[in-house]
Amino acid sequence: MGFSILLLFYLILPLFLAIHGLGADPFFQHSCISTAGNYSANSTYQANLNTIFSQLTSQSDFNYGFYNLSAGRDPNQVNAIALCRGDRNQEDCNSCLNESISELSQRCPFSKEVVGWSEFCTLRYAHRTLFGDMETSPDSCLYNTQNVTNVDEFNQALDNLLNNLSSRAAAEGPLRKYAADNTTVGVFQRVYALVQCSPDLFEQEFGDCLSVAKEGIRSCCFGKRGCRILKPSCLLRYESDPFYQTPLPLPSPPPSVASPPPPAPPSTEGNGNNTTRIIIIVVASVVGIPILIASSICIIRRARKTPQQLLRTDDDEVIRADSLQFEFATVRAATNNFSDANKLGQGGFGAVYKGQLPNGEKVAVKRLARDSGQGDLEFKNEVLLVAKLQHRNLVRLLGFCLEGHERLLIYEFVPNTSLDHFLFDRVKRAQLDWERRYKIIGGVARGILYLHEDSRLRIVHRDLKASNVLLDAEMIPKIVDFGMARLIVRDETQGNTSRIVGTYGYMAPEYAMHGQFSIKSDVYSFGVLVLEIVSGQRNNCFRNGETVEDLISCAWKNWRQGTAMNIVDPTLRDGSRNEMMRCIHIGLLCVQENVGDRPTMATVILMLNSFSVTLPMPSQPAFFVHTNIESDMSSSLVSESYQSRSEELPLSQNEASITDPYPR
């Protein structure tokens, strides 16, 4: 009897540890980035860092183990990214992050930038932006001191396994990029491996990061039985013994009819195995039922939230964000009392001014016109949402001012103004060679994808155009002006509005004429923008010899005739012809008349990054005319009263159709 109890104890103990995945694991690697500088004790930076730590330790949403956090504003802003291993649950993740915070606080006191790798998580924080940047340095490598017996055979099997895992992980989507599996080596040996990447990166960046990591195997642990290569943006690990669990499933559409659980496999072993199975079922039930109940409550609560609840509307709640609020006197002084000399431009809802804060930081201030259509609700939309958005291809909102009738938004200053100032200027466009234009197209695509799928709420921009794409000092595109962004809860794909806002020429027909908008409305605008970037000409006045046509019609006709390269900017003497043709192809796919035929932004990025993907043939664009049109186009899509809202010329009304076959 005593032996049976002892045996039962030893069976339960490893199972308990496996389920909880814990105990203080001694594994921890870190890097204190000395070049990023240090902060002082009890400083604002330390207070913001403590806010980040507090947010991490109080997370109630699992988010599949990925957290992107920010606290404060320049020059003391702290940005952090935390990534838990894809096979761990929320309890393991939280415990690992708590341990990492404790370790990093002790090992890197006062370091502004730090990376830490633990058994089940990676944590990094810095003053600079981390989200969306693929980074492979600093790194860490650990290996098993034992060697494999057949190096060539082992390396071949491992290489095939890692390539397979890389493809699977990249295809998992924006919530998680993780894969683990095993394969045989010879007759008796197996190798187990996992790869994981920060989900804010895209497929090409994911592949690049893992390629660098795989190179680390050759230089660090060639021929070893086990190895870990740790990068800030990705990691890989392989061992000769199992070390991972089955990951939590990603969400999928619910089945129409509940499927019964699969029958248990027939037992092939004795009573000892049955005893173990009983223990597993009991422990799993005890642990799983509370988790299931808690998850159900969270889902129900989230489902009950309306867009109005998600968008707070009380002035008091906006003012509580004191870390983002500026005094009006400070902003007025920064812009030299909103002088014309500091004026950068005039938008549909007000002027934008350049300013300099007392700490020397340059900013762009959007002063909303008092008689503009943008009221408090739209102002709060921009403040509450944009402040939470962090992506290298979005202009960062630093703060706001809400005082009396004044409504001000303070953005980071982007030195090179907007894309249209370069693209449509005969002299400046020479600075945009094809390599730069191709990167701009990809950057804008990534920014819009973030708004559509990767941000907490689905956001439709509704006014994507060349003048709303700013270029930083390195000509990296940053999308601006979310004042007209419309929120959609996650389960919806479109909305309706009686107020049409945006710029004609970039607006999808279903939105311009019927007020119906969706993420596919932004896809249409993106397609127009791509064609402009390729051609170097505005969408409403494409000059073709002595005549002027609208760009979409000209692009479509040349595509049908097999002469698509005719629309390419003649100043692009160098560059990949295949990339140019592919971009024209993608642009035409985005402006198709049938909304359902337009690709998603995720598909667009896949098309841009992978030339192995076969593109479908585009169908007729939404607005297409047979004949050339003169530069003083007079016909309009909508009533005269709307035309005054836009500085752009309207497109011609589409009353034509074509039946010619696709280009060969």
Averaged pLDDT for residues 41-49: 93
More confident residue, 142 or 290: 142
Q: pLDDT at position 455, please? A: 72
The total number of residues shown for the chain amounts to 664
Helix (H) or strand (E) holding 494: strand 494-496
Band of residue 249 on the pLDDT scale cut at 50, 70, 90: confident
DSSP 8-state assignment for residue 147: B
More confident residue, 173 or 664: 173
Enter the tokens of residue 317.
Answer: 């709640």
Same domain? For 109 and 215 the reply is no
Q: What is the pLDDT of residues 143-162, one digit of tens each?
A: 898 999 888 899 999 999 99
More confident residue, 187 or 90: 90
Q: pLDDT at position 14, please? A: 41
Q: pLDDT at position 490, please? A: 38
Same domain? For 594 and 557 the reply is yes
Q: pLDDT at position 78, please? A: 94
Q: Which of 215-219, 497-501, 522-526, 619-623 has the lowest mean pLDDT?
A: 497-501
What would you report as the CA-atom Rg of the chain, rounded to the nearest whole angstrom?
A: 28
Of 100, 126, 152, the last residue of a domain is 126
Say yes or no to pLDDT of 651 above 70.
no
Say yes or no to pLDDT of 316 above 70.
no
Give a yes or no: residue 83 inside a domain: yes
Averaged pLDDT for residues 174-186: 88
What is the residue range of 315's domain? Answer: 303-413
Give a yes or no: residue 50 inside a domain: yes
CB 341 within 8 Å of CB 355:
no
For residues 101, 107, 110, 115, the Cα torsion angle rounded to the nearest 10 degrees is -60
Q: pLDDT at position 20, please? A: 37
Say yes or no to pLDDT of 497 above 60.
no
Q: pLDDT at position 234, please? A: 94
Say yes or no to pLDDT of 171 above 50.
yes
Q: pLDDT at position 423, please? A: 94
Band of residue 328 on the pLDDT scale cut at 50, 70, 90: very high
Say yes or no to pLDDT of 499 above 70.
no
The number of folded domains in the chain is 4
Q: pLDDT at position 371, please? A: 56
Averaged pLDDT for residues 75-97: 92
Q: pLDDT at position 64, please? A: 78
- Residue from 87, 92, 454, 463 carrying the catalytic annotation: 463
Which spans in 130-254 are helix H?
Answer: 151-170, 203-220
Same domain? For 550 and 444 the reply is yes
Same domain? For 635 and 535 the reply is yes
Q: What is the pLDDT of residues 439-448, one digit of tens each?
A: 999 999 999 9
Q: pLDDT at position 255, please? A: 42
Which spans in 196-313 are helix H?
Answer: 203-220, 271-303, 307-310
Highest mean pLDDT (candidates 183-192, 386-395, 537-546, 636-645): 183-192
Say yes or no to pLDDT of 466 above 50.
yes
Q: pLDDT at position 496, please? A: 58
Q: pLDDT at position 293, please? A: 55
Same domain? For 517 and 613 the reply is yes
Band of residue 269 on the pLDDT scale cut at 50, 70, 90: very low
Say yes or no to pLDDT of 645 above 50.
no
More confident residue, 645 or 57: 57
More confident residue, 389 or 226: 226
CATH of the domain at 190: 3.30.430.20
Tokens 């340059």, located at residue: 362
**What are the backbone dihedrals phi and psi of residue 118, each rounded to the nearest 5 degrees, phi first?**
-115, 180
Band of residue 315 on the pLDDT scale cut at 50, 70, 90: very low
Same domain? For 492 and 536 the reply is yes
Q: pLDDT at position 639, please? A: 26
Of 214, 239, 264, the last residue of a domain is 239
Give a yes or no: residue 131 inside a domain: no
Give a yes or no: residue 162 inside a domain: yes
Q: Which of 25-34, 55-64, 262-271 has the lowest mean pLDDT?
A: 262-271
Q: Say how far apart CA 502 and CA 372 lie, in whole Å.
A: 14
Say yes or no to pLDDT of 489 above 60.
no
Q: Which of 335-339, 355-359, 384-388, 456-460 has the lowest mean pLDDT?
A: 384-388
Q: Above pLDDT 90, what percent of the chain?
A: 40
Averaged pLDDT for residues 347-358: 85
Strands 542-544 and 547-549: antiparallel
Give a yes or no: residue 291 inside a domain: no
Averaged pLDDT for residues 330-344: 93
Same domain? For 57 and 81 the reply is yes
CATH of the domain at 631: 1.10.510.10
What rounded mean pLDDT belongs to the chain?
Answer: 77
Q: What is the pLDDT of residues 124-133, one digit of tens each?
A: 999 998 888 8
Q: pLDDT at position 633, please? A: 32
The CB-based long-range contact list for 322-325 (8 Å cut-off, 24+ gap) reads 323/71, 323/72, 323/73, 324/73, 324/383, 324/387, 324/397, 324/398, 324/399, 324/400, 325/399, 325/400, 325/401, 325/402
Q: Which of 19-33, 82-96, 272-286, 408-422 has the lowest mean pLDDT?
A: 272-286
Q: Residue 202 burial (CB < 10 Å; 0-12/13-18/19+)?
A: buried
Phi-psi region of 648 (alpha: psi -120 to 50; beta: other; left: phi over 0): beta
Give a yes or no: residue 186 inside a domain: yes
**What are the backbone dihedrals phi and psi of residue 105, each rounded to the nearest 5 degrees, phi first?**
-60, -35
Q: pLDDT at position 525, please? A: 94
Say yes or no to pLDDT of 355 above 50.
yes
Say yes or no to pLDDT of 6 above 50.
no
More confident residue, 663 or 37: 37
Say yes or no to pLDDT of 501 above 90.
no
Tokens 């998600």, located at residue: 310
Same domain? For 398 and 421 the reply is no
Same domain? For 494 and 610 the reply is yes
Say yes or no to pLDDT of 230 above 60.
yes
Band of residue 544 on the pLDDT scale cut at 50, 70, 90: low
Of 97, 126, 155, the last residue of a domain is 126
Q: pLDDT at position 462, please? A: 85
Alpha-carbon separation of residue 269 from 11, 192, 283 (angstroms): 16, 25, 21
DSSP 8-state assignment for residue 200: T
Residue 366 among known ligand-binding residues: yes
Q: Above pLDDT 70, what percent of the chain?
A: 71
Averaged pLDDT for residues 45-61: 87
Question: Can you tell me whether residue 268 is helix, strand or coil?
Answer: coil
Q: Say how far apart CA 598 and CA 448 lie, in whole Å.
A: 15
- The greatest distance separating any two alpha carbons of the chain, rounded to the nearest whole angstrom, comes to 100
Q: pLDDT at position 337, please? A: 94
CATH of the domain at 357: 3.30.200.20
Averaged pLDDT for residues 42-71: 87
Say yes or no to pLDDT of 270 above 50.
no
Same domain? For 440 and 386 the reply is no
Give a yes or no: residue 485 inside a domain: yes
| Cβ-Cβ contacts under 8 Å for 48 (sequence gap 6 or more) | 71, 72, 76, 77, 78
Averaged pLDDT for residues 310-318: 40
Same domain? For 383 and 480 the reply is no
More confident residue, 307 or 612: 612
Q: Is 463 a catalytic residue?
A: yes
Give a yes or no: residue 17 inside a domain: no
Q: Say how far apart CA 118 and CA 595 lie, in whole Å.
A: 46
Q: pLDDT at position 381, please? A: 62
Same domain? For 661 and 567 the reply is yes
Enter the tokens of residue 55.
Answer: 């947010």
For residues 41, 334, 319, 414, the Cα torsion angle rounded to the nearest 10 degrees is -80
Cis before 266 (ω within 30): no
Cα 623 to its chain centre, rounded Å, is 31
